[in-house]
Every structure is written in C-alpha cells, then in structure tokens.
Amino acid sequence: MTRASRKYSNRPRDDGAKLASRLIHSVPAATVELETFCKMAGIKVSPRVPTAAVECVRRPHLLINPDFAAKHCERDEHLFLLVMHELWHVILAHTRLYPRVTPAHNIAFDAIINAGLARQYNKPEYQGFFEELNPADKFPHILLRPPVGWPSDPQYPDDVGPAGTRRILERLYPPPGEEPPLPFYDEIFRLLFEYAKENGWVWVEGEPFLLGDHDNPESEEQALDDAVFSEAIRQVSGSMSLPLGGRGGGGHQAERQSRVDPTTEQVRRVFANVLRRCLGPRRGRHRRRVKSPVPGIGGTSVLPNPRDRLAPARRCLGAPKTIWNQPGVVKARVPETPSKAHVYLDVSGSMAQVLPHLLGLITPYVLGGQADVYQFSTRVVPLSVANLQKGRVRTTGGTNINCVLKHVLEAETRINRILILTDGAVGAPHINFVEQIHERNLRVCVVMPAEAAWEEDLRDLANLMITLPPVGIPGPMWRR
C-alpha cells in the first residue's frame, strides 16, 4: 500500500462509512430504513459535536463523535441507540414544541426518548448503554437511565430526588408485566421544578449526561425544513413503531388507558368554530324546515282500528261508531336534521402527550350528538361514548393516514366532509387515495394541537389546516 493510499484510507469519511456499516447491520428489523437513511443523508465523523448531531448542508449528514463512539459504542447495538436517539429528537420535532428550550426541557426530552428506546429495544445486547452514561444514585441523572436490575428485577430507590421521583421512574421503566403510558413532559418539568426550589440548578456531582447536540437546536430546525433530510426521516420512521411519536407500522392493536383532561377556553372556542365551519350546523340552532314523510292519519274507513286513539272521543260526542281513522304516511314540515361531524382521532404513540386533553375536548360534541368519532393508528375503529368518557382507546402504536382515507372512501353512506384531529405525523397519503378524495370533492379539515404540529405529511391532502392553541396548561420555562 502506498503512502497516498494509506492517507486516503484514514480519512474521516472512511470512518463514517464504517460507522454506517455497523449501524446498518446492528438491528435486522430496521436495516431497510436505516440503509435508506444512510444513502440519502449520510453519516460522517466529527469531533466538533459531543456525541451526535444533525448537520444540514446541501446534502444533510448525521455527525457522530468518533471518540464517543469508540468509548461508549463498542457494540453495534449501542451505536444504533445513539443514532436513533438523535433521530427521534428530529422526528418528534422537539425544537418546535416550546418557544424557548431550556435545560429542563432537554432533560425531559432525553428522559422520554431514552425510556422509549429502552422499552422498544430491551434485549440484553442493547442494555448497558444508557446505564453507563448516568449514575443510578443521583438526580436528575436517574431519569435518563433504567433502574438497576431493569427490566427483569428493577430496583426503584426511594431516597433519590424529590418526592414523586419513584412514581415517574415506574412509568418510564415499568415493572415486568406492566406497560403504563409514558409520563408527560410537564410531569417531569414539575419534578425538576421541585428539585430546583430546594437546590437551584446545582447538581450534586456534575450535570446529567445528555445525548445529542443540545447547544445547537437550530440545526434540527433547519433539518426539518430541508426537503432531502425530511424525506430521509420519512423513510426511517415509515415502518417503525415509535412508542411516543412518529409514523409507524405499529404492532398488535391493544387497549390503552388514557386520562380525560379539560382544556382551555380558547381551545374550545377555536375547535367549535372549526367544527361549525367545516362540518355543518349544530343541533338546535337551525330554523330551516323541509317536507318529510312522517307517520300520521292516512284517511278513514269502516275497518276497525284498535290504535285509533280518537275513537273514545267520537263515541262520547255521538259520532258514528263505524268510522275509524287509518294509519298512513303524510308529508309534514319538520326541522331538518343537521349533518354530524365525522371526526377521526389519532391515538398513535405520538399523541400520548396531548390525547387526554383532546378526549376532553371532543366529549361534549359526541354527547350532544354533533359528532361521530373514529379512532385510528394503523387501523380505524369506532370510539364509543362509554370508552370516550373513560379514556379507553385502541391503538397499534404506529400511524398510517391511508387507513383513514380507505375507511372514508369505502363507507356505505357517502361522506362529504371529515375532520382529522392529529399531530400530523401520519405518513404520506397514497397518491391513489388523494386523487379519489379530490375527485369526490371530499373536504378534509386537519386540526393539530400547538404542542405537536407537523404539516408536511398532509399538506397536499387537506383543504383546511388549523393549529389549535396549546391544549393544556403550558409548562414553566425555567432557566439556569
């Protein structure tokens, strides 16, 4: 080998190719998606980032720190977790959830993502990565890693962190046989706030170790706006089941329990206006009357009719007893029945943070007979009033908008308007379904919560796209 060839072989892009090869072969179930991502976006090594980051240039790249990879990612599965952690930040659009991202937000984001990855990839070969980065006896470090002994025999400490830490840990990393929903970001914020009231933003021994490039969130913002990188992200998440967000094929459909929480008055007003504008008048507020066939008196004859309720009155008045009223159908002016709203509610994993508030938002309209609600993830299932009030939903965890479009187009009764209540991360609609929707002049209204609004997937399908105000009480924005 010549000196020039040796120099060429040691270039960083060769290291990047080696990392890409390790990544592609790390998890068989994700090979196709990650191979597509590596071809479109590329992977490079860079000592400028602490662990991993997104670089959005003419051709977007995923940057990985080679020293960090050599020290903490000796296993290919650990490298896979590092890359997926950074991609989930982008897929879940964490930089767009709050106007200003603070250290509290970064800890909450990493806690949820680490727990989601640990739940989904809990085999022995994946274990040890998050455990090595943060200790189990310090706060908030303990929120960023599984407890000692998890998942078979977790040990939840009672003397680490403020009150409520153990409860959050049990929801992040549940005991064997249990699968509770992940906690809300606001719940972790409140836990950090309790710690801050007692200690300030001073950690006992060093700050918690966060994965990704939290010092440069603008790179993720640019990546989300870049067409090439967005398509690469779509390929990665297209058939993955994300417990907390994104598009995905999902798994088996299962019943999940959610809370039913109230929302703000501003959200209720905006949603009521959208429902009224897009899906017809509200019951009791219409004055139009139309002629419709109704049961009535069709005439008289000598045939006895025991259901003639006027017969006793005629006998008392001395009228002929041989004449009986006969049932029939007559036309009468009656109030026109208003159309119901056909609401499709996204119950996939990405909706976990806002679903309780959206259930509370639509419940009054269902009870009032103004809307029929269908829940969808990768399948469409009617959502009964009883389950709606109790917060019981059925989901596969993934998301696919095509199941909604197929359900609408195959409905026995023609549907002219639908409302899709979602965060928008539902995957690209099939071109054939989009063409049929446009040919039938079916109006599609997409309503998204401010906490998570991804417009790219449904931009070509929606006639109207509305972003609600924040559906819950905004979390505090703490600073150091």
Query: Hey, where are the domains in the chain?
Result: 3-245, 265-282+338-467, 289-335
Which residue bears the tokens 């990704």?
212
pLDDT at 24: 66
| DSSP E strands, 336-437 | 341-346, 371-376, 380-382, 392-395, 417-421
Rounded mean pLDDT of the chain? 76
Tokens coding 54: 């997104």
pLDDT at 154: 92
In CATH, which of 3.40.50.410, 3.40.50.1000, 1.10.10.60, 3.40.50.620 is domain 265-282+338-467? Answer: 3.40.50.410
pLDDT greater at residue 101 or residue 288: 101
The b/e string for 66-105 (b: 16+ C-beta within 10 A; e otherwise) is bebbeebbebbbbbbbbbbbbbbbbbbbbbbbbeebbbbb
pLDDT greater at residue 66 or residue 298: 66
pLDDT at 281: 43
> What does the alpha-carbon distance between residue 235 and residue 229 come to, in Å, rounded to a whole number?
10
Rounding to the nearest 10 degrees, give the CA dihedral for residues 294, 300, 305, 309.
Answer: 70
The answer to whether the pTM exceeds 0.85 is no
pLDDT at 423: 86
pLDDT at 7: 36
Residue 446 pLDDT level (bands cut at 50, 70, 90): very high
At 266-310, the pLDDT tens digits run 999 999 888 887 764 444 444 555 566 777 777 788 888 877 878
Helices 31-40 and 12-24, packing angle to 10 deg: 160
| 312-327 average pLDDT score | 82
pLDDT at 343: 93
| 470-477 average pLDDT score | 56
At 135-144, the pLDDT tens digits run 988 888 999 9
At 8-27, the pLDDT tens digits run 334 444 466 777 777 766 65
Count CA atoms within 13 Å of residue 86 on its CB side: 27
Find the range with the poorest average confidence among 129-133, 178-182, 259-263, 429-433: 178-182
At 34-56, the pLDDT tens digits run 555 665 566 778 888 888 877 66
The b/e string for 300-328 (b: 16+ C-beta within 10 A; e otherwise) is eeeeeeeebeebeeeeeeeeeeeebbeee
| 376-382 average pLDDT score | 90
Residue 99 has pLDDT above 70, yes or no: no
